[in-house]
Amino acid sequence: MTFGVVVFPGSNCDHDAHHAVTQVLGQPAEFLWHKDTSLRGVDAVVLPGGFSYGDYLRTGAIARFSPVMQAVAAFAAAGGPVLGICNGFQILCEAGLLEGALIRNQQVQFRCEHVHVRVEQIATPFTAACTPGQVLRLPIAHGEGQYVADREVIDRLESNGQVVFRYSAADGRVTDDANVNGSSRSIAGICNPTRNVVGLMPHPERACERVLGSADGLVLFESALGWSGVPRG
Amino acid sequence: MPLHTVRVFVTLKPSVFDPQGRTIVESLHSLGYGNVADVRQGKYFEVQVEAANAEDADALVRDVSSTLLANPVIEGFRLERAEPAGRR
């Protein structure tokens, strides 16, 4: 199963994602340049973290108009699995592939630490190998990760099961203290109605090996493998 | 075609909490400006466009604003026409 990792000017977690896929998961990965108009036949797309276009105007606002994003939108519409991590999540929201928006953290601080998230939906390509309610310990590093949307949008996401991750305590309790950036209903990640496009603020690709402090993020990439039916190797 | 300058003010929707505005208010209060009730932070753009007339310029900038300058999920915008160049 070949993963495509999109590289925008200012992406800085592209190599982390490539490393996680090729060195830990043991699958091929290709970098896709933001000016590419083809995804070159990859089986899954990762929009990595970073500061695409310097976060100018709004996070993800310029990147969404990159040529490659048209190909990503077509891939997503055809049911292809797309994972947006941090800035990638912001880009997916700006592009309208996911609903809502990420604004400045409520505390107006750049938060860089390990947090816990509870898996709320396992019927996605990136959570299929999780157990319902599983708690993952993942790093975050963002200044603009507060998830917001109109109340009716959030109600619809909840009732459709499109909330995929919620910030929680280590035991899985969703509390105000654990809501690291003030996100509406502690939302850390969501998916589209067909559940093949997933975005989240934490960085699973930086938590795939124990030496990095946590290997909990690997399950997202293992899930994609299981989803495609390709054996790990 | 003549050059028109249109000012664009982008602001967060009233329903969206503005953490930066809140921080500015708190800072002002600690500086002794207790009468400052609220601050909402927004963005200001001056957009120069070539258009046959002011109405066309407005229409173009409105299009630009809804496409890129503002995110309709969280923001609104309004336009203000600048004085034509040379009449300042």
Q: What distance, in Å, lies between the first and last C-alpha atoms of chain A? A: 10
**Burial bucket for residue A26 (CB in 10 Å: 0-12, 13-18, 19+):** exposed
Q: Between A57, A101, A146, which is nearest B73 by CB?
A: A101
Residue A233 belongs to some domain of the structure: no
Domains of chain B: 3-81 (3.30.1280.10)
Return the percentage of chain B with pLDDT > 90, whole number.
Answer: 88
Q: Give the pLDDT mean for A133-144.
A: 98
In terms of DSSP H, where are the helices of B1-88? Answer: 19-30, 54-64
pLDDT digit string, tens, across residues B53-76: 999 999 999 999 999 999 999 999
A57/B73 Cβ within 8 A: no
- Nearest chain A residue (CA) to B41: A104
> How many separate domains does chain A show?
1
Return the percentage of chain B with pLDDT > 70, whole number.
Answer: 94
Cβ atoms of A140 and A111 within 8 Å: the answer is yes
Range of the domain at A144: 3-228
Name every residue in B having a CB less than 8 A away from some CB of A. Answer: 12, 15-17, 19-20, 22-23, 68-69, 71, 73-74
Q: Give the pLDDT mean for A165-184.
A: 98
Tell me how far the alpha carbon of residue B68 is from its chain's centroid.
13
Interface confidence (ipTM) of the complex: 0.84
Q: Give the pLDDT mean for A77-101.
A: 97
Residue A49 belongs to some domain of the structure: yes
Residues of B with CB below 8 A from A99's CB? 73
CATH number, domain of A136, equals: 3.40.50.880
Mean residue pLDDT of chain A comes to: 96
Residue A189 belongs to some domain of the structure: yes
Structure confidence at residue B4 as a pLDDT band (50, 70, 90): very high
B23/A103 Cβ within 8 A: no
B87 Cα to chain A: minimum distance (Å): 31
Please give the pLDDT value at position A230: 52
State how far the alpha carbon of A131 is from the alpha carbons of A118, A127, A134, A176, in Å. Answer: 10, 8, 5, 24
Please give the pLDDT value at position B88: 47
Quote the CA–CA distance of A201 and A203 in Å, as a whole number.
Answer: 7
Residues of A (143-172) whose Cβ lies below 8 Å from B: 146, 148-150
pLDDT digit string, tens, across residues B35-49: 999 999 999 999 999
pLDDT digit string, tens, across residues A212-227: 999 999 999 999 998 8
Cβ atoms of A116 and A213 within 8 Å: the answer is no
Quote the CA–CA distance of A48 and A168 in Å, as a whole number.
Answer: 23
Q: Give the pLDDT mean for A41-65.
A: 95
Quote the CA–CA distance of A82 and A152 in Å, as a whole number.
Answer: 25
Please give the pLDDT value at position A232: 43
pLDDT digit string, tens, across residues A104-125: 999 989 999 999 999 999 999 9
Residues of B with CB below 8 A from A107's CB? 19
Q: Is A5 in a helix, a strand, or coil?
A: strand
Closest CA to A197 of A67, A94, A44, A51: A44
Q: Give the pLDDT mean for A15-40.
A: 97
pLDDT digit string, tens, across residues A93-106: 999 999 999 999 99
Structure confidence at residue B82 as a pLDDT band (50, 70, 90): confident
State how far the alpha carbon of A218 is from the alpha carbons of A21, A129, A190, A196, B62, in Å. Answer: 9, 10, 18, 18, 45
Please give the pLDDT value at position B84: 61
